[in-house]
Amino acid sequence: MSWILIAEQSLNGLQFGLMLFLLAAGLTLVFGIMDMINLAHGSLYMLGAFLASTFVQLTGSFTAGVLLAIPATAVLGMALEVTLLRTLYQRDHMAQVLATFALILIINELTRLVWGSDASLPMPGALSGPVELMPGLPYPAYRLLIIVVGLAVALLLFFLVTKTKVGMLVRAGASNREMALAMGVNIRLLFTLVFGAGAALCAVAGAMLAPLLAVQVGMGENILILAFVVIVIGGIGSIRGALVGALLVGIVDTIGRAFLPILFGLFFQPRVASAAGPAIASVSIYLLMAVVLYFRPQGLFPARG
Amino acid sequence: MKIKLLAVALCFAANAHAADRVKVGLITTLSGPNAAIGSDIRDAFQLAVKLNGGKLGGLPAEVIVGDDQFKPDVGRQLAEKNVKVDRVNFLTGIVFSNIMLASAPIAFENKTIYVSPNAAPSPMAGKDCNPYLFVASWPNDAYHEAAGQHATNRGYKNTYLIAPNYQAGKDSLAGFKRYYKGNIAAEVYTQLGQLDYAAELAQVRAAKPDALYIFLPGGMGVNFIKQFVAAGLSKDIPLLVPGFGDDQDIIRPVGDATLGLFDTAHWAIDLDNAANRKFVAAFEKEYKRLPTVYASQGYDSALLIDAAVRDTKGKIEDVEAVRKAMKATKFESVRGAFKFNRNQMPIQNYYLRVVSKDSQGRLYNKVLGTVFKDHGDAYVQDCKMK
């Protein structure tokens, strides 16, 4: 096992973690501020990818297509909030789960009607090969772009939340909603804006991952589960928690898949190792979550003190 | 009482006579990420009926199409309906082994012949072989065995294997290893439905194998191949896949990245026989796309039924006679000549193919050579059927 392999796997973990962060950031704010469980968050991720594929085809430019898909998804998200989800805030979590689960099914079928069951979003030609980061360490150029975009969005989000007035209101809402209301914060508008921002982040993740993965109906469901794991680990309502949680999940998952089977091979017979390695690797992030929750039931960085 | 007897007598009379039409139940996957596969099987089957003037074996054909939605329980319900309510003469269409294992027994229990246009799970080749099952495709292991043989022929010393962590994944690598004589660099099982293979690709790069064999059907394969090429591995490591792993349904979304991929299959677009030339041209004309192996299997399923109905002179109520006619395989298959084994699975040739560009610049699988001649399967000795 060489250092180059470890470096490459760390980059993979970082890339995966940053994309998870984009999804988890929106989810954690909606959950933290509005006390709303939105299972349809993954549907916005899917819509972002489908919209990006359409816009890339229309404009002929990858960058323009992705940049158009982000506000379009944000508008869709806000429309969803204003028309439907707003009525769910007063209900209990079970009602929210049921309603947003129904929304997943409805959005999936609508997407199928509009786009068919899948769409394609080709990788920009200039980035479709590897670049040599260090001698002996080629890394896919497109994955590097994902890392750069992910870091940039994370920084932007950090700046918005900690340095701007809107960010202050968001933080106030997350740590004590009733008090923020009492202080005269326009919570309705704030909720709609937060929801739109969450949808925009979904679109960034969906559009950036689309050329690597597949743009297909149902792509949001699997990744949504991971996003929930991230926000539970990070602490609900905390952007910082979402970032740390996402990077932890990304790295643990990648390292687990890459090195656990090898590690097991050192201690067990090959037959046992080849069966147990992949099995443990696939549950490694859930083990991580269990351990974090055992020591810190509120998550690593709880928004409410 | 008399009336009842008369009715029974009439039924028998009807049985002995030729039927006035053939009813076929076609259950396949037409929605979800794997819809492309089912659509190819359906389209090719209907094409064969259409080219026959709407008939199978000289009788007007009625094809009842159902979507199993990639769910075994839905497939089973459709099979119940087709066999018991619609009273079809033949059942066919299912893509996936798990759905076929749940649905086809309904046909077997009611002595209705199931013609498989794809799935042929190994238990049904061996101890669970069934007189009412005819496989118009290939036994589940066959493509993998051929790929293993090809790796041996090429002299690969160190091959890296990747498959999803479920039964068919393990079976596929077992099939590969049955005919591969070299060393296994690693045998990696990924999660079923996994979409990102960055971690696995980094391990492959570090292991520096002579060749990489993957069994990753559908969307998993699409992603893997794209990421394999993006990681720059395609320059150094030959990638082998089973024949359905880089067919038209994968080539369309992946594009030029599939160019130069090797695979093994029992059929190819450019297999040189009259039936195949007719099929490929007609399919392309009708559907404006090139056919996949799945399409060739759907087409052959229809031809197999056609020949059996023809040779029993339309007396399709006599299931034993139909079985006998089917076993004779007296039709021009698009794969060329083949025959059925004792377990009613094909004994046929398997070819090495490579993704190339045709004169119009379209990607297709070109035949390079024959890997196996008249190849059967490893399970037939467990089949009690004669």
Give the Cα-Cα-Cα angle B4, B10, B12 (nearest 5 degrees).
Answer: 110
Q: What is the pLDDT of residue B4?
A: 52
pLDDT at B222 over 90: no
Q: Give residue A251's Cα distance to chain centre.
A: 14
The dihedral over CA atoms of B117, B119, B125, B128, expressed in degrees to the nearest 10, equals: -110
SS3 B273: coil
- Cα dist from A297 to A65, A242, A293, whole Å: 42, 15, 4
Q: Outline where DSSP puts E strands in chain A.
A: 118-119, 130-134, 137-140, 215-216
A86: burial class by Cβ within 10 Å (0-12, 13-18, 19+)?
Answer: middle
Smallest Cα distance from A191 to chain B, Å? 33
**The domain at B142-265+351-375 falls in which architecture?**
3-Layer(aba) Sandwich (3.40)
Tens-digit pLDDT profile for residues B129-174: 999 999 999 999 999 999 999 999 999 999 999 998 877 888 899 9
**CA of A273: how far to CAs of A2, A199, A284, B162, in Å?**
21, 42, 15, 15
For the cut 50, the answer to whether the pLDDT of residue A32 exceeds it is yes
CA distance B257 to chain A (A): 10
- What residue type is assigned to position B121 of the chain? P
Token pair, residue A51, equals: 């919209």
B16: confidence class by pLDDT, cuts 50, 70, 90 = very low
For chain A, the average pLDDT equals 89
Enter the tokens of residue A102.
């129904």
Question: Up-side HSE of residue B133: CA atoms within 13 Å toward CB?
Answer: 34
CA distance A17 to chain B (A): 12
Both tokens assigned to A42? 């993954």
Q: What is the model's pLDDT at position B12?
A: 46
Q: Which residues of A touch B189 (CB under 8 A)?
A: 274, 278
Residue A202, SS3 per DSSP: helix
Above 50 in pLDDT, residue A232? yes
Task: Kindly list the structural domains of chain A, giving each domain's residue range(s) and its CATH number in brackets, ordered by start.
Answer: 11-125+138-295 (1.10.3470)
Q: Which residue has the tokens 């099952």?
A: B133
Decide if B72 contacts B99 (C-beta within 8 A).
Answer: yes
What pLDDT is stored for residue A280 in this prediction? 82
Task: Output the pLDDT for position A155.
Answer: 93
| pLDDT 10s digits, B232-286 | 898 889 999 999 888 888 888 788 888 889 999 999 999 999 999 999 999 999 9
Residue from B203, B223, B225 to probe the interface with A (highest A Cβ count within 10 Å): B203
Residue reference for tokens 């993957």:
B214
Closest Cβ opposite residue B253 in set A8, A120, A141: A120
Q: How far is B185 from chain A (nearest CA, A)?
A: 12
End-to-end CA separation in angstroms for chain B: 41
Q: Provide the pLDDT for residue B3.
A: 53
Amino acid identity of B45? F
Indicate the residue of A117, A219, A279 with minimum beta-carbon distance to B35: A117
Q: What is the pLDDT of residues B325-348, one digit of tens each?
A: 999 989 999 999 999 999 999 999
Res. A115: pLDDT tops 50: yes
Pairing of strands B158-164, B183-190: parallel
What local confidence, expressed as pLDDT, does residue A178 receive?
Answer: 80
Least confident of B79-83, B90-94, B203-207, B347-351: B203-207
Cβ <8 Å between B196 and A118: no
HSE toward the beta carbon, residue B283, CA cutoff 13 A: 28
**Assigned fold of B2-138+272-337:** Rossmann fold (3.40.50)
Domain coordinates in residue numbering, chain B: 2-138+272-337, 142-265+351-375
Whether A214 sits inside 8 A of B195 (CB atoms) is yes
Q: Does the pLDDT of residue B196 top 50, yes or no?
A: yes
- Chain B residues within an 8 Å CB radius of A118: 33, 253
Question: What integer pLDDT is reported at residue A137 of this predicted model?
Answer: 83
Residue A256 pLDDT: 87
Q: What length is written for chain A?
A: 305
* Cβ pair A257:B190 closer than 8 A: yes
CA-nearest residue to B254 within chain A is A122
Q: Is B230 on the interface with A (CB under 8 A)?
A: yes
Contacts of B33 in chain A (CB under 8 A): 117-118, 214, 216-218
How far apart (Å, rounded) are the C-alpha atoms in residues B216 and B225? 10
CA distance B21 to B19: 6
Cα B251 to Cα B257: distance, rounded to the nearest angstrom: 8
Q: Which residue has the higher pLDDT, B11 or A277?
A: A277
pTM assigned to the model: 0.81
- Max distance between CA atoms of chain B, in angstroms, equals 82
> Helix crossing, A141-163 with A187-209: angle to 10°?
170
- Give Cβ neighbours of residue A288 (< 8 Å, ≥ 6 apart): A233, A248, A249, A252
A303 in Cβ contact with A175 (< 8 Å) = yes
* pLDDT for B17: 60
Mean pLDDT across chain B, nearest whole number? Answer: 90
Alpha-carbon radius of gyration of chain A: 20
Residue B331, token pair as written in the block: 């039709």
Answer whether A123 sits within 8 Å of B226, measured CB to CB. yes
The H or E element that residue A266 is part of is: helix A239-267
Could you tell me how many residues make up chain B?
Answer: 386
| Stretch A153-161: mean pLDDT | 91
Most confident of A1-10, A47-56, A80-89, B189-198: A47-56
Q: What tokens appear for A88 in the block?
A: 């769910």
pLDDT of residue A124: 87
Interval A130-159 mean pLDDT: 90
Disruptive mutation site among B196, B236, B237, B249 for chain A (greatest number of A CBs within 10 Å): B196
At A43-57, the pLDDT tens digits run 999 999 999 999 999
- Closest-CA residue of A relative to B200 is A258
Question: What single-letter amino acid sits at B296?
Answer: S
Half-sphere exposure of B169 (CA within 13 A, CB side): 19
Closest partner residue to B32 among A8, A117, A138, by Cβ?
A117
H/E run at residue B185: strand B183-190
> What is the bridge-based pairing of β-strands B59-67 and B22-28?
parallel
Per-residue pLDDT at A172: 84
Among A155-159, B256-260, B301-305, the range scoring the smallest mean pLDDT is: B256-260
Please state, for a pLDDT cut of 70, what percent of chain B lies above it: 95
Contact residues for B341 (Cβ-Cβ < 8 A; gap 6+): B347, B376, B377, B380
Q: What angle do CA A223, A224, A230 make, to 5 degrees?
A: 95
Give the Cβ contact number of residue A294 at 10 Å: 8
d(CA A213, CA B88): 41
Q: In Å, how far is B58's CA from the nearest CA of chain A?
A: 37
pLDDT (0 to 100) of residue B146: 96
Spell out a b/e string for B187-216, using b for 16 or more CB atoms within 10 Å of the CB, else e: bbbbbeebbbbbbbbbbbbeeebbbbbbbb
Q: Report the residue from B188, B206, B219 with minimal CB separation from A214.
A: B219
> d(Cα A74, Cα A195) in Å, to the nearest integer?
8
pLDDT per position as a tens digit, B5-15: 455 444 444 44
Q: In angstroms, what CA-CA distances link B160 with A215, B213, B242, B321?
A: 28, 6, 14, 48
What CA–CA distance (Å, rounded) separates B296 from A212? 30
pLDDT classification of A13: cutoffs 50, 70, 90: very high
Residue pointed to by tokens 């890296």: B160
For range A55-71, the mean pLDDT: 95
Residue of chain B with shortest Cα separation from A282: B191
**Residue reference for tokens 């469901």:** A221
- Who has greater pLDDT, A56 or A171? A56
Q: What span, in angstroms and rounded, lies between the C-alpha atoms of A3 and A8?
A: 8
- Comparing A286 with A277, the larger pLDDT belongs to A286
Do the bridges between strand A137-140 and strand A215-216 make them parallel or antiparallel, or are there none, so unpaired?
unpaired
Å between B276 CA and nearest CA of chain A: 30
The domains spanning B2-138+272-337 and B142-265+351-375 adopt the same CATH topology: yes
| Partners of residue A282 in chain B, C-beta under 8 Å | 165, 191
Q: State yes or no: pLDDT of A228 exceeds 60.
A: yes
Residue B10: predicted pLDDT: 46
Q: How far is it, in rounded angstroms, from Cα B210 to Cα B214?
A: 14
What's the pLDDT at B1?
46
| ipTM score over 0.90, yes or no | no
Whether residue A213 and residue B187 make contact (CB cut-off 8 A), yes or no, is: no
pLDDT reported for residue B72: 93
User: How high is the pLDDT of residue A186?
Assistant: 83
B155: tokens are 């002299």
Q: Which of residues 101 through 160 in chain B touch A, CB cutoff 8 A?
A: none
| Burial bucket for residue B115 (CB in 10 Å: 0-12, 13-18, 19+) | buried
Which residues of chain A neighbour B230 with C-beta distances below 8 Å? 123, 128-130, 140-143, 212
* A253, closest residue in chain B (CA to CA): B199
Nearest to B77 by CA among B55, B106, B57, B109: B106
Q: How far is B217 from chain A (nearest CA, A)?
A: 13
| Residues of B with Cβ-Cβ distance to A257 under 8 angstroms | 190, 199-200
Nearest CA in chain B to A140: B231
Q: Which position has the token pair 């392999």?
A: A5
* Range of A87-91, A236-240, B74-78 with top mean pLDDT: B74-78
